[in-house]
């Protein structure tokens, strides 16, 4: 199972590198074009994660009335395990999360990293991060890696909704 996830991660990183390289070439050819440079900025912090949901998903509504769900997933790395918070917005993704994502679910998350300043209870300042998912895939109970089945949902509209919400909260 680990080798399939590792192979998938390597493929995704390769695709990401090729995509970023193509965008950089396009940017060099038309540096004055604002849409190209903003497109590159939007893709610099693109994130791909594979992990297991560690707690029951949280569902809520922001101060602006936008419904969202937050999911914590743990993923392995060479240095050990890392815990990530994934935020999903829009009605579609929240409904999908309610129906398909549970504690112990195996997720593949495609999205962007967003960081926010935070102040801990003891007064120390730091940075907190979330992954704003644009697409998630939930593994549907496969046993053998060759027989894995995934149900995908495209959450690209969630990026814009969350950016508006995060911008209003700052």
Query: From first to last of its 170 residues, what are the pLDDT tens digits of the chain?
Result: 444 444 545 555 555 555 555 555 454 444 445 555 555 455 568 888 888 888 898 888 888 888 888 888 888 766 766 667 777 665 567 888 888 888 999 988 888 888 878 888 899 888 777 788 888 888 875 333 444 444 555 555 544 544 544 455 44
pLDDT reported for residue 92: 62
Give CB contacts under 8 A, 24+ apart, made by 60-69: 62/165, 62/169, 63/168, 63/169, 64/164, 64/165, 64/168, 66/161, 66/162, 66/164, 66/165, 67/91, 67/94, 68/94, 68/162, 68/165, 69/93, 69/94, 69/97, 69/98, 69/101
pLDDT reported for residue 77: 66
pLDDT reported for residue 10: 52
Question: What distance in Å separates the CA atoms of residue 72 and residue 81, rounded to the nearest whole number?
Answer: 13
pLDDT reported for residue 5: 47
| CB 96 within 8 Å of CB 153 | yes
Range 45-169 has CATH code 2.40.50.140: yes
39 Cα distance to chain centroid: 18
To the question of pTM greater than 0.75 for the whole model, the response is no
pLDDT reported for residue 6: 47
pLDDT reported for residue 95: 81
Q: Where are the domains of the chain?
A: 1-44, 45-169
| CB 71 within 8 Å of CB 88 | yes
Contacts of 145 (CB under 8 A, 6+ apart): 1, 3, 4
pLDDT reported for residue 70: 85
């Amino acid at each position: 199972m680990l080798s399939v996830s590792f192979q998938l991660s390597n493929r995704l990183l390769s695709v990401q590198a090729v995509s970023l390289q193509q965008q950089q070439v396009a940017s060099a050819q038309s540096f004055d074009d604002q849409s190209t440079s903003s497109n590159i900025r939007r893709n610099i912090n693109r994130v791909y994660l594979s992990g297991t949901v560690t707690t029951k998903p949280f569902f809520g509504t922001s101060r602006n009335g936008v419904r969202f769900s937050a999911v914590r997933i743990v993923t392995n790395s060479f240095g050990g395990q890392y815990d990530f918070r994934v935020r999903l917005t829009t009605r579609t993704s929240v409904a999908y999360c309610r129906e398909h994502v549970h504690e112990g679910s195996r997720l593949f998350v495609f999205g962007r990293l967003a960081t926010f300043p935070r102040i801990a209870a003891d007064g120390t300042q730091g940075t907190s991060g979330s992954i704003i998912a644009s697409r998630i895939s939930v593994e549907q109970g496969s046993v053998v890696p060759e027989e894995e089945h995934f149900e995908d949902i495209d959450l690209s509209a969630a990026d814009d909704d969350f950016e508006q919400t995060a911008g209003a909260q700052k």
